[in-house]
Structure 1
């Protein structure tokens, strides 16, 4: 395992710069190319999610709301709780600012990607849909898009595993429950292995039910888990009101600390913020288009606007709540451990000694919803590389890796996923920039339609 981790660690520096160039460079290009128009339609995006513009006759399997919650279920999870803690552990409070900046750019990236997912999807006679980055690459770019689509799909077979989620949930359970002590009476077991097998069984019960079952479960879990987490964080903030403004000041001050101890200096801090933000909201990866491409709509721009809300919910809101909680509690100064241990300490210290138990329940909901939704992404990749009949076997491989992730180290898991994410960003961002004129043309027609409806 140490050898694998060494190999992955040696490749990460190259992947970092690739991700910075494509996600931030490509995202800024799309930002200016769109003339900031998607931001101006933020309120309209919310009205779309609320169903004000739904047409039951439109093709698709799931509603705008289900598509958003399914995509958010995959992103709002352990990346927001332990991912933020990892970012602060590695780069200090200033890294949060660069996560915010990446999220703002990520909103535009998701707008273009999910618009293209609807624009280039295939609706079969039986109502079955084919959508996602591999399809807008192949159909939109043509012959040159095929190698990009294959590259993306192969990387996705690794990137769309739930290994980080499983690993961090296992760490949380072992820290809070400590079964070797609390349940020692029933015998001496490998509890990490038992947790992995249990998660594999629970996940299997949902993911083999298909997209609609995943969407239904995600729509039920996501609002609940965000609500409970929000209440817990609000209690912490209200009992430490005097520390809120200083926490934000610390983030802004450290964001431009050119003497930072982070490896690579200031640019190392920026890269770390990009990596953790992409890990959190998946902007640029091409995952969200797979869900949003399944939504019931004939308007590509509508779905792009809905998808744009994802990074805002995920990083601007949820990650910020986690970061302020960690800073305000002093956990980032007192805990010298990578992963969720820092957030656990912040909750336990700030919520009267019971916060770690509450966080365990929240993490369980986060972990399950993420595991349910990630499997769908992997099946789409395998379906493209092989065929839809073969795709279902991804779930078997997916479930097997859950047990593996429970017993391996957090370092291996983080390096594996970071590398896969960087590789997935390359073909997807090339496709988004290549096809951006198509989205702009569609957006121009949509704005004209909106104007005509108002007059």
Structure 2
């Protein structure tokens, strides 16, 4: 087992150091230029689009789809992952985390717009994602099946085990609760929600996500206000450690860059191919609308919530001791700022953050199970395994599962990045169609005929099938 674990670690180092870091930055820069830096120029549109509702009963609104995506993004990576990145890579890791979010948000727009273009009808709502645009856009179903298998294992099983493990550990630390008891409660709650289907997932996510994010941001703002005079030196510390001479000599820039990008991707998932599964569920009048909303999800996750955690930790100075990492570092940092109740607050945040991730992660697996086969038996088997993995994660040692998850996460990202680069012309043309309609004061409505290359592979945007639902939004 030790040899296998060692091989996994070596493969992870190669995959992340020589493949993903270069790919993510290069492709992020490419998409930023091709879309004229849409992540900045259309920021106002992103917020306005969140208010658009779904006109058809039973369908998923833009906001609900945003919440499903954010539910998966916002999890242990925002509290424990950021802490680990700072503990290993130093304060400079925060800069690289910001950079990958700013560049990656352009990739998030491309992948989520493609998910909307190639989505398929699923009862009253829709489903789609990378597997679907690989099959319909690239005509490579084998590629879609491979991606589906990777995301099912990574999100449905491994990441859900990690989330439940973090919840159980936090509650054991703060309240002395038995991990098995916590696991049983989580398992029951998970079963109730996921057996209700995508609409129940959407409704639960749209309640949990705003509450948990708002509470955490308010606490972070209090800590920042308390230390307001230290903010200029805090930014200086981050930039100094990201580019400082001593970091170059000691190899610290490499550690900061690696940790910032790796944990940044784990948290915001830009370019990984996970969030497009949520983006495809929304009922909107134009694919670019949901692309913009999911771009906002990257900003919400990294530039707001991850930054809140980073500031709490760096302002506390707790990271400098080197004795703590992960969720323990975040808890210790907040306790030093607000008192002993800070540890309890973090435990509750972890419950909401990580449980919302379990819900979102489950859905990503479900839509990819349906891509592979429509037989209900496979979906039921998947649900049973997910429920079992939630309980297993709450009582198991997770380091090996974390490392396995990193492999699958990396492989997912590689496959998805290849697909979105090959299909990027379609997404960019869809954006230009959106922009041209906005310029003349229209509420953009998309028809597949506006992009001749789409052919007959697009089910939901043909001129004769664009629904009244989409036109009414």
Alignment TM-score, normalising by the size of structure 2 = 0.87
Between the aligned partners of 1:113 and 1:223, the Cα distance in structure 2 is: 24
Between the aligned partners of 2:126 and 2:43, the Cα distance in structure 1 is: 27
Q: CA deviation at 1:335?
A: 5.1
Q: Pick which of 3-12 and 159-168 moved more.
A: 3-12
Between the aligned partners of 1:133 and 1:371, the Cα distance in structure 2 is: 20
Between the aligned partners of 2:417 and 2:204, the Cα distance in structure 1 is: 31
Query: Which residue, out of 130, 147, 150, partners 2:145?
Result: 150
Q: Pick which of 261-270 and 285-294 moved more.
A: 261-270
Q: CA deviation at 1:163?
A: 2.0
Aligned pairs for 1:378-393 (under 5 A) are: 378-387=365-374, 389=376, 390-393=378-381
Q: CA deviation at 1:414?
A: 2.6
CA distance change for structure 1 residues 26 and 148 in 2, over 3 Å: closer, same or farther?
Answer: farther
Q: CA deviation at 1:240?
A: 2.1
Contact 2:125–2:282 under 8 Å retained in 1: no
In structure 2, the residue matched to 1:449 is 437
Between the aligned partners of 2:249 and 2:261, the Cα distance in structure 1 is: 14
Between the aligned partners of 1:153 and 1:408, the Cα distance in structure 2 is: 26
Q: CA deviation at 1:298?
A: 3.1
CA distance change for structure 1 residues 38 and 177 in 2, over 3 Å: closer, same or farther?
Answer: closer
* 1:426 partnered with 2:414: yes
Q: CA deviation at 1:192?
A: 2.3
In structure 1, the residue matched to 2:458 is none
In structure 2, the residue matched to 1:211 is 198
Once the two structures are superposed, residues 273-305 of structure 1 have per-residue CA deviations (whole angstroms, 9 ceiling, x without a partner) of: 111001001111111111111101131111111
In structure 2, the residue matched to 1:106 is 104
Q: CA deviation at 1:394?
A: 1.4
* 1:66 partnered with 2:33: no
Contact 2:39–2:102 under 8 Å retained in 1: no
Q: CA deviation at 1:18?
A: 2.2
CA distance change for structure 1 residues 60 and 433 in 2, over 3 Å: closer, same or farther?
Answer: farther
Any unmatched runs of 5+ in structure 2?
444-473
Q: CA deviation at 1:78?
A: 1.5
In structure 2, the residue matched to 1:134 is 131
Aligned pairs for 1:70-109 (under 5 A) are: 70-109=68-107
In structure 1, the residue matched to 2:51 is 50
Q: CA RMSD in A?
A: 2.2
Query: Which residue, out of 295, 302, 308, partners 1:308?
Result: 295
Between the aligned partners of 1:104 and 1:413, the Cα distance in structure 2 is: 29
CA distance change for structure 1 residues 274 and 22 in 2, over 3 Å: closer, same or farther?
Answer: same
Between the aligned partners of 2:352 and 2:400, the Cα distance in structure 1 is: 24
Any unmatched runs of 5+ in structure 1?
180-190
Q: Pick which of 7-16 and 280-289 moved more.
A: 7-16
CA distance change for structure 1 residues 174 and 6 in 2, over 3 Å: closer, same or farther?
Answer: farther
Q: Pick which of 40-49 and 257-266 moved more.
A: 257-266
Which consecutive segments of 4 or more residues in structure 1 shift more than 4 A? 1-4, 261-265
Determine helix, strand or coil for the equivalent of 2:247.
coil
Once the two structures are superposed, residues 313-340 of structure 1 have per-residue CA deviations (whole angstroms, 9 ceiling, x without a partner) of: 0000111110010011111023513320
Between the aligned partners of 2:215 and 2:136, the Cα distance in structure 1 is: 42
Q: CA deviation at 1:203?
A: 0.9
Once the two structures are superposed, residues 181-223 of structure 1 have per-residue CA deviations (whole angstroms, 9 ceiling, x without a partner) of: xxxxxxxxxx223322321111111111111111111111111
Aligned pairs for 1:215-226 (under 5 A) are: 215-226=202-213
Q: CA deviation at 1:37?
A: 3.3
In structure 2, the residue matched to 1:19 is 20
In structure 1, the residue matched to 2:349 is 362
* 1:35 partnered with 2:22: no
Between the aligned partners of 1:338 and 1:454, the Cα distance in structure 2 is: 51
In structure 1, the residue matched to 2:383 is 395
Contact 2:83–2:325 under 8 Å retained in 1: yes
Determine helix, strand or coil for the equivalent of 1:141.
coil
In structure 1, the residue matched to 2:397 is 409
CA distance change for structure 1 residues 431 and 200 in 2, over 3 Å: closer, same or farther?
Answer: same
* 1:291 partnered with 2:278: yes
Q: CA deviation at 1:355?
A: 0.7
Q: CA deviation at 1:174?
A: 2.0
In structure 1, the residue matched to 2:423 is 435
Contact 1:113–1:133 under 8 Å retained in 2: yes
Q: CA deviation at 1:258?
A: 5.4
Query: Which residue, out of 325, 332, 341, partners 1:338?
Result: 325
Q: May I ask how many residue pairs the two structures share in their alignment? A: 438
CA distance change for structure 1 residues 157 and 43 in 2, over 3 Å: closer, same or farther?
Answer: same
Aligned pairs for 1:238-253 (under 5 A) are: 238-253=225-240
Once the two structures are superposed, residues 383-414 of structure 1 have per-residue CA deviations (whole angstroms, 9 ceiling, x without a partner) of: 22232522232121111112222233342233
Between the aligned partners of 1:148 and 1:105, the Cα distance in structure 2 is: 26
Determine helix, strand or coil for the equivalent of 1:129.
strand
